[in-house]
């Protein structure tokens, strides 16, 4: 869109062009993001999965890779990111609770186990794979 403005020097065209200083595009964008999440205590962070290198967009709920479902041992209490272990956590089991699927992650480094709800965007093929291998392990016992 082109705005024509009259100035003392005559008629000038004010054409917004990406990359010019007066567009304000970048700063406006961060304002919107800031306003949108103001007042929320959730941890919103993007991360790259260390298991399969998939880029994950943080939504504040997901703490595991949506593609391979592996997690990382970073929390002492949920969301505090204070755990120094930093080991990769393998999804070892899945069960259902209140119509949700819940994954059990086990830290490969220290053996810590934690339950995490499966998110809407998670790779359900992988959930099924875990459930299947879980069932096979049960049968072969």
User: Which residue, 14 or 86, is less far from Zn ion as judged by CB?
Assistant: 86
Site string for Zn ion, 48-87 (x = CB under 5 A): -x-xx-x----------x-xx----x-----------x-x
Query: What is the full DSSP assignment across 79-134?
Result: T----S---EEEEEEEEEETTEEEEEEEETTT--EEEEEPPTTS-HHHHHHHHHHH
Q: What are phi and psi of 10, to 5 degrees?
A: 120, -160
Q: Between residue 82 and residue 121, which ones bind Zn ion under the rule CB under 5 A?
A: 85, 87, 107, 109-110, 112
What is the bridge-based pairing of β-strands 55-56 and 3-7? unpaired
Instruction: Count the site residues for Zn ion by CB under 5 A.
Output: 14
User: Which residue, 87 or 119, is less far from Zn ion as judged by CB?
Assistant: 87
Binding region for Zn ion (CB under 5 A): 49, 51-52, 54, 65, 67-68, 73, 85, 87, 107, 109-110, 112
């Amino acid at each position: 869109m082109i705005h024509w403005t009259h100035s003392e020097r005559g008629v000038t065209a004010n054409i917004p062009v990406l990359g010019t200083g007066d567009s304000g595009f970048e700063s406006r964008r961060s304002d919107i993001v800031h306003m949108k999440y103001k007042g929320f205590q959730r941890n919103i962070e993007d991360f790259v999965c260390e298991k399969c290198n998939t880029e994950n967009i943080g939504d504040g709920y997901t703490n595991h890779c949506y593609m391979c479902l592996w997690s990382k041992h970073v929390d002492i209490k949920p969301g505090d990111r204070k755990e120094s272990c930093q080991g990769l956590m393998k999804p070892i089991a899945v069960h259902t609770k209140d119509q949700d699927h819940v994954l059990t992650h086990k830290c490969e480094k220290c053996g810590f186990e934690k339950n995490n709800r499966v998110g809407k965007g998670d790779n359900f093929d992988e959930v099924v794979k875990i459930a299947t291998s879980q069932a096979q392990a049960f049968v072969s016992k």
